[in-house]
A and B are shown apart, each in its own frame.
Chain A
Amino acid sequence: MAHIPDGVLSLPVTVAGWAGAVAMTGLALRHMKEEAIPGTAVLAAVFFTVSLVAVPVGPSSVHLLLSGLMGLMIGPATVLAVLVGLALQALMFGFGGFTTLGVNLVDIALPGVVVGALLAGPVRRTSPTRAGVIAGLGAGACVLATGGGVALALALSSPDYVPSAKVLLVTYLPLMAAEGLITGFAVSFLKRVKPDALAGASP
């Protein structure tokens, strides 16, 4: 799904992906605060393990990304957490690939960062329950954006690998629901217990 393997993408798409990934990583490093490092590492470990567990759905298999949750909790540092997680997965399990690391990083991290930046304010202001609902919807939008990004990268690369809309619908709709539910519950819980944990995206 979000781990596009080597040898599928064309050169321009690969280069564009890397350019975007390098720019995003640079920005994230510049905004990295010392006190955010442990949280980023914990979420990198969560992303690394949770996206290894794939559930077969029809002709494909899906796994959680939790990019929306990461965006709300650590903001731009999501890029670093996803980068480390993806690099380790490619290195140890051959999931995804190194030429496609850039595209995969942009596809997964960018929606999380954008959603985190957009929803940080509303989530901070409302009640825990409402914050959970908002965050859940945001997480669903993240999955949708990731799916759109993957489909776009594939379609731009080669007519051979144009994804079928049916497969994307079958696989992404349940994933959106699952991500939305998990992120919603996590955010409303954090909001009740430790509201500081959701402050990563706010300046």
Chain B
Amino acid sequence: MIRRLILALLVLAATASPAAAHRLKLFATIEDGRIAGYAFFIGGGRPEGAAIIIRGADGQELYRGATDAEGRFAWTPPAAGTFVVTADSRDGHVAEVRLGAERFTPPPSPAPDQAAMPATDTAAIEAAVDRAVARQIRPLLETYDEAEGRLRFNDIMGGIGMIIGLAGAALWATSRRRKGADS
């Protein structure tokens, strides 16, 4: 019976898709063609000196560095493209973020002079709007990433409740088996 319970738990665990959070998490954005961000641990703390590896779409390693005292890193790729940023604390904590080519804004054009054509004007405005939006939504993205991986008191209490429930079920199962053996 206990065996069946544990099996049921394992099946449940294997089929449910766990939250997309890991212990080590990585936040990365692209601003003005520069990849920047930081690694952080769920529950607090930024890794200092964790390895940061940036690979291109073909898996080729393009950059290898380490995070600073606040877990930050930055790298300017030679051209826009798809990049995969990996943070590795060198003891089994690994986090990965994929940045698609579509997240790169076109390079900022030189300041438009008075006699500029309307077309270059539009491009400049687009680039400025892109930068402004990126700056405005950055705190939002950061908060979202953090909230996704937060340890919630309710979840912890739920886990403890589940353990108590499992123990109760196991006790019930053994007492039933014993009663069956007695009679």
| Interfacial chain B residues near A83, Cβ < 8 Å | 6
Residues in B21-74 with C-beta less than 8 Å from chain A: 21-24, 41-50, 66-67
Chain A residues touching B, majority SS: helix
B147: CB under 8 A from chain A?
Answer: no
B174: CB under 8 A from chain A?
Answer: yes
A56 and B19 contacting across the interface, CB-CB below 8 Å: no
Distance from A162 Cβ to chain B, minimum over Cβ atoms (Å): 8
| Interfacial chain B residues near A80, Cβ < 8 Å | 6
A54 and B23 contacting across the interface, CB-CB below 8 Å: yes
| Interfacial chain B residues near A59, Cβ < 8 Å | 47-50, 66-67, 89-91
B162: CB under 8 A from chain A?
Answer: yes
* Candidates A91, A97, A150, A161; contact of B16 at CB < 8 Å: A91
Residues of B within 8 Å of A, CB-based: how many? Answer: 53
Q: How far is the CA of A132 from the CA of B9 in the complex (A)?
A: 36
B94: CB under 8 A from chain A?
Answer: yes
Residues of A within 8 Å of B, CB-based: how many? Answer: 55
Distance from B155 Cβ to chain A, minimum over Cβ atoms (Å): 5
Q: How far is the CA of A160 from the CA of B159 in the complex (A)?
A: 34
B91 and A29 contacting across the interface, CB-CB below 8 Å: no
B106: CB under 8 A from chain A?
Answer: no
B91 and A94 contacting across the interface, CB-CB below 8 Å: no
B163 and A41 contacting across the interface, CB-CB below 8 Å: yes
B22 and A34 contacting across the interface, CB-CB below 8 Å: no
Knowing A29-B2, A54-B23 touch, does A88 contact B43 (C-beta < 8 A)?
Answer: no
B45 and A56 contacting across the interface, CB-CB below 8 Å: yes
B171 and A38 contacting across the interface, CB-CB below 8 Å: yes
Question: Contact mask A21-42 → B, CB, 8 Å, 1/0?
Answer: 0000100010010100110110
Most buried by B among A2, A7, A32, A61: A61
List the 4 closest A-B pairs by CB distance, nearest first. Answer: A56-B45, A41-B167, A94-B21, A164-B90
Interface residues of A (CB under 8 A from B): 1-5, 7-8, 25, 29, 32, 34, 37-38, 40-41, 44-45, 48-49, 52-56, 58-61, 80, 83-85, 87-98, 101, 150-151, 154, 160-161, 163-164, 167-168, 171
27 contacts between A and B (CB under 8 A): A1-B92, A1-B93, A4-B92, A5-B92, A25-B6, A34-B171, A37-B174, A41-B166, A41-B167, A45-B163, A48-B156, A48-B163, A54-B43, A54-B44, A54-B45, A56-B41, A58-B47, A59-B48, A61-B41, A80-B6, A92-B159, A94-B19, A94-B20, A98-B18, A154-B91, A161-B94, A163-B92
